[in-house]
């Protein structure tokens, strides 16, 4: 154990003197403030504009609705449903103008609560039309079921936690989730691989020096991966904290109880921004650990740092590359869990048509893949050790035979 501790300290000192990793850490820390300069210039459609646009669509919907459908009994039912939808939507628009008011003409309770209740009723009517096949309604006027489920999850969360609807999209609580979603995927994987590429450089440059540490292969692996993992996660947590503080100083903290949608069990649930941050950090930790272990394994096989990076990136990008040329890639869906932002938002499930691409399965698969790579590293080392031991035993027997 003492020798293991000495080796761990040795690896930590090597890492602390690695200027490349400090530079990559600085890039990660600067990512959030730099990206905000672009994000703050984007045009984000407000909820008022969105509702006004939806209301205007109803005029075109009635103009284009086929008369042959109007005259049927089902068409008359659809027309009444659409009229009720218009009424609920107009009430929502009115509640938006008086958000925060309570009692008075509109009845007891705050108007933003009544906005959400009207929205739930409106979405139930939309789902009713989906069940009826949306007969006579043009595709442009149909809200997809996924979007309806997202709205319902948000409305219920707002009602349960009594949070007003209108949130400033440029405050820290809303910006940080957008930035983390952008960082997720190939960008984060490339960062991990570049930071992890220094794990074996010293071993390859000074092989004789490391023979002075008589510790097992797996303990060396734990030391190397451990110190790089800790450094990476410290950089990640520091960058998130600095990014939040930077944006908060410019536009405000915002409400970290505000909802973020997460895809789960073929549906959407709303969680707080704080909970979302925890999910993302835990996922980034599992992904970073997996990539560092996989990089170490491939490097022992290829004996080439850059070849290992390229191979891992090709493996991670293989679902998109194969899908682009028309090859079925659903059997590769566990690799999509690396892009945790797309998994949590439900974009991955929609792209591949696989309900299991949700955050619960993501964590399960990431743990399984980590254990799998560790098992392969351990098994490979045992196999090599036995071959060497057998070779040495065979040579000893041959020498004894010659001596006899």
Distance (Å) of CA 106 to CA 98, 102, 118, 155, 313: 10, 8, 12, 19, 57
Q: Which residue has the higher pLDDT, 189 or 68?
A: 189
Average pLDDT over residues 364-377: 93
Full-model pTM: 0.86
C-alpha span between 268 and 153 (Å, rounded) = 6
More confidently predicted of 396 and 27: 27
DSSP 8-state assignment for residue 141:
G
360: Cβ–Cβ under 8 A, 6 or more apart, which residues? 264, 265
100 φ, ψ (degrees, to nearest 5): 100, -20
Instruction: Tell me how far CA of residue 356 lies from CA of 279, 370, 380, in angstroms.
Output: 17, 19, 31
Q: Domain coordinates of the chain in residue numbers?
A: 2-42+169-392, 47-161
Contacts of 318 (CB under 8 A, 6+ apart): 329, 332, 335
> Does the pLDDT of residue 284 top 90, yes or no?
yes
Q: Could you give the CA distance from residue 382 to residue 404 in angstroms, rounded to a whole number?
A: 32
Residues 166-182: tens digit of each pLDDT: 677 889 999 999 999 99
Q: Can you tell me the distance from the alpha carbon of 9 to that of 14, in angstroms, rounded to the nearest whole number?
A: 9
pLDDT of 212 = 53
Residue 292 has pLDDT above 70, yes or no: yes
């Amino acid at each position: 154990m003492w020798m293991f501790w000495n080796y761990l300290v040795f690896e930590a000192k090597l890492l602390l003197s690695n200027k490349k990793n400090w530079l990559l850490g600085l890039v990660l820390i600067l990512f959030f403030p730099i990206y905000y300069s672009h994000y703050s210039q984007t045009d984000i459609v407000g909820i008022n504009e969105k509702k006004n646009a939806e209301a205007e669509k109803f005029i075109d919907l009635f103009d284009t609705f086929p008369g042959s459908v109007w005259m049927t009994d089902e068409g008359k039912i659809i027309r009444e449903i659409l009229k009720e939808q218009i009424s609920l939507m107009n009430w929502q628009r009115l509640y938006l103008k008086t958000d925060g008011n309570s009692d008075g003409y509109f009845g007891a309770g705050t108007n933003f609560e009544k906005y959400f209740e009207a929205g739930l009723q409106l979405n139930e009517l939309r789902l009713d039309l989906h069940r009826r096949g949306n007969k006579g309604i043009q595709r442009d006027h149909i809200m997809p079921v996924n979007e309806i489920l997202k709205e319902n999850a948000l409305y219920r969360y707002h009602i349960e936690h009594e949070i007003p609807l209108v949130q400033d999209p440029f405050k820290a609580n809303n910006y940080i989730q957008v930035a983390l979603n952008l960082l997720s995927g190939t960008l984060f994987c490339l960062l991990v691989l570049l930071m992890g590429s220094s794990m074996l450089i010293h071993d390859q440059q000074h092989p004789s020096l490391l023979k002075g540490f008589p510790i097992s292969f797996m303990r060396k692996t734990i030391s190397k991966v451990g110190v790089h993992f800790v450094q990476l996660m410290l950089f990640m947590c520091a960058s998130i904290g600095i990014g939040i503080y930077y944006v908060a100083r410019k536009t405000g903290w915002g409400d970290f109880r505000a909802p973020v949608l997460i895809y789960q069990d073929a549906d959407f649930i709303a969680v707080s921004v704080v909970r979302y941050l925890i999910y993302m950090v835990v996922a980034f930790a599992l992904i970073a650990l997996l990539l560092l272990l996989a990089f170490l394994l491939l490097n022992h096989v290829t004996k080439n740092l850059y070849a290992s990076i390229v191979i891992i990136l090709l493996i991670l990008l293989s679902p998109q590359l194969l899908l682009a040329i028309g090859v079925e890639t659903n059997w590769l869906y566990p690799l999509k869990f690396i892009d945790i932002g797309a998994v949590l938002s439900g974009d991955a499930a929609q792209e591949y048509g696989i309900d299991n691409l949700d955050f619960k399965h993501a964590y399960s698969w990431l743990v399984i893949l980590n254990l799998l790579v560790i098992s392969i590293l351990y098994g490979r080392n045992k196999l090599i050790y036995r071959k060497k031991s057998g070779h040495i035993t065979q040579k000893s027997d041959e020498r004894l035979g010659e001596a006899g």
